[in-house]
Structure 1
Amino acid sequence: MVRLSAITPSGQVQLGNYLGAVRQWAVDGGEEDIYFISDLHAMTTSHNPSRLRALTREQLAVVIASGVDPRSVSVQSDLVRELGALTWVLECTCTYGEAARMVQFKEKSVGRSSVRLSLLTYPVLMASDILLQGAHEVPVGDDQKQHVELARALARRFNGTYGEVFAVPRAVVPPTGARVRDLADPTRKMDKTAKDAAGTVFVLDPPDLVRRKIRRAVTDDRAEVRYAPEEQPGVANLLEILSACTGKEPQELAGAHATYDDLKEVVAEAVVEELRPIRERTRELLDDPAELDRVRAHGAERTRDRCRHRLDAALRVSGLG
């Protein structure tokens, strides 16, 4: 069984990305699983080319430094020719109505006089990511389930029209990870693209900055450390972060701290120590571009080898080549 997941270089990897996804990849990933940096997806809105390239390399280094098997990791654009070919075939399989009804397209295009065509068509590219690699399971959040459903529909339609080529994937709930909220506004999740980074802890933040952000985390005026997400979202967020770092339950941790200041200090140190080896190993990889390039090239070749026969079959049965 092949499981496929990705992270988009729209910003630096933050604590929620690491605790909720990347760390899980390292722990639960099998040798057939595929993890990639989806840099093509980051081009659906205005972007800076140099920053995109730098963020892609940084995310690749963070994923590897987190313990994910390098053989399972690749960069999406390294397969741009294969993906471009299959995306065109799938666009000729997809209808405009199917693409236009995607909720993310509706939300991101509302109120804007002009949007990039790629914002409409990138779910087809996502379907290509999935189908090209023969993925059986795609762990996604609620905001991406519709895109996996599109991939399922296109796989079935293609197979029914031209012949059996693609596995029909299914969306799955990823293994339970940390639910990390913004430290400055715990009503929203931590986001690597947030305009105000005061409430976002990035994996590569230096320890003093991590401590400063956590010490400034929003709590409340109850002055009581207890795990009550609805009533005390800020305190609950700190307890859940500490839980993810220690493996203990938030309710148990709440009883061990008398004050908010005490809780924040413990959380800060736990996060600093959790991220320390990741940050150090990432820096080593970024300071050794030849090694990072070698790992990237190997991942691209392995991924390309795995998908070549499937792409050849899709082109052949659809009348190309």
Structure 2
Amino acid sequence: MAVFKERVFSGVQPTGNLHLGNYLGAISRFVPLQERYDCIYCVVDMHAITVPQDPKELRRQIREVTAAFLAAGIDAERHIVFNQSQVAEHAELAWIFNCIARIGWLNRMTQFKEKAGKDRENASVGLYAYPTLMAADILAYRATHVPVGEDQKQHLELTRDVAQKFNNDYAAAIAENGHGDAFFPLTEPLIQGPAMRIMSLRDGSKKMSKSDPSDYSRINLTDDADAIAQKIRKAKTDPEPLPSEEAGLQSRPEAANLVGIFAALKGVEKSQVLREFGGAQFSSFKGALVDLAVEKMGPIGAEMKRLVADPGHIDAVLGKGAERARVIARETLDAVYDIVGFIRSARNS
């Protein structure tokens, strides 16, 4: 059995303002992984252009996501932080995987159906082939683990299918080239406690989203203390006091959302929050939530603004990270090219 070095890969798209849901559901969870794994964190800008983007806005958003990584506590010296488009090996490996993956696999991808909508004939090929590029993102580094949310589980399953089919299709060449019985790992999902799904502050049945036309539906990572306080105080609630047990949150989506946000920011279970605030009116609970959110998110927003104001520094972080990422990805691609039977000149090897 092949043995692979434990390594985590994850990426965040630079599309629109980052908000509390992005932080609690993904970015904040990246930080503790640094103590156990070699981590590679990527701003996946090539994925972003599968739908139309304004070039100036895209550059701004790439830097903003990078600033969020750094402000949240990701150490770009110990680990790797870069943007995808600076490492051409992602695109090179994606083409190999386009030839490995089956059309039937991609046809089953629910996220394409959701994003393409009814006019699928007008969707880009890139949007359709998004999962094979995601597989290349992960497997260019032969990553063993990926922290995933509900919306990415299906894509990770496809990554595992691609890796397995490559290993099977080229089993003889893999062995001949000294890689044992498998070249790519079957990357495992990394589950860090219960899935964190932050909902809109205006509608507890909808996920918090940067595309929502109301800015009051979300807490942006760059919001200052006054904006955070105002949005929480205006958050939709119901007239009943908070229950003392989680069962009492059923059929109360807005209450459940605010309790969930408090629990996530505090690092405790919902049941503990309800033991403390059960029976309280929302006015007092919101006051406590404001204090907690400002305490936790205020410094991150301030640091993000400081970093974004120095684009040269962010670009240097991304450039250095890309150089380090490229070394790993190039080694993988060189081996893949040998395995599939390509001829490379000495200057390209």
Q: Does 1:13 align with 2:18?
A: yes
* C-alpha separation in 2, matches of 1:266 and 1:142: 30
| Alignment: residue pair count | 320
Give the aligned partner of residue 265 of structure 2.
245
1:195 to 207, 210, 213: 213
* Aligned partners of 1:10 and 1:55 also within 8 Å: yes
Q: Does 1:276 align with 2:284?
A: no
Map Cα deviations across residues 67-123 of structure 1 (whole Å, 9 max, x no partner): 0121332211111x2111111111111222222221111222231151111111110
* C-alpha separation in 2, matches of 1:120 and 1:214: 38
**Which 5+ residue runs of structure 1 have no aligned equivalent?**
none
Q: Does 1:154 align with 2:162?
A: yes
Give the aligned partner of residue 312 of structure 1.
334
* Aligned partners of 2:307 and 2:314 also within 8 Å: yes
Residues 1:174 and 1:11: Cα distance change in structure 2 (over 3 Å)? farther
Map Cα deviations across residues 30-73 of structure 1 (whole Å, 9 max, x no partner): 45121111111111112211111111110101111110121332
Give the aligned partner of residue 26 of structure 1.
31
Give the aligned partner of residue 57 of structure 1.
63
Residues 1:256 and 1:149: Cα distance change in structure 2 (over 3 Å)? closer
In the alignment, residue 58 of structure 2 is paired with which amino acid?
L
Q: How far off is 1:129 after superposition? A: 0.4
Question: After alignment, is 216-225 or 42-51 more displaced?
Answer: 216-225
* Aligned partners of 1:21 and 1:177 also within 8 Å: no
Give the aligned partner of residue 109 of structure 1.
116
Map Cα deviations across residues 288-309 of structure 1 (whole Å, 9 max, x no partner): 2232222111211111112211
Q: How far off is 1:177 after superposition? A: 5.9
**Which 5+ residue runs of structure 2 have no aligned equivalent?**
1-5, 175-181, 345-349
- In the superposition, the TM-score normalised over structure 2's length comes to 0.86
* C-alpha separation in 2, matches of 1:240 and 1:309: 43
- In the superposition, the TM-score normalised over structure 1's length comes to 0.93
* Aligned partners of 1:10 and 1:193 also within 8 Å: no
Q: Does 1:211 align with 2:229?
A: yes
Question: After alignment, is 32-41 or 162-171 more displaced?
Answer: 162-171
* Aligned partners of 1:137 and 1:172 also within 8 Å: yes
* RMSD of aligned alpha carbons: 1.9
Aligned-pair identity (%)? 34
Give the aligned partner of residue 347 of structure 2.
none
Residues 1:204 and 1:250: Cα distance change in structure 2 (over 3 Å)? same
* C-alpha separation in 2, matches of 1:251 and 1:277: 27
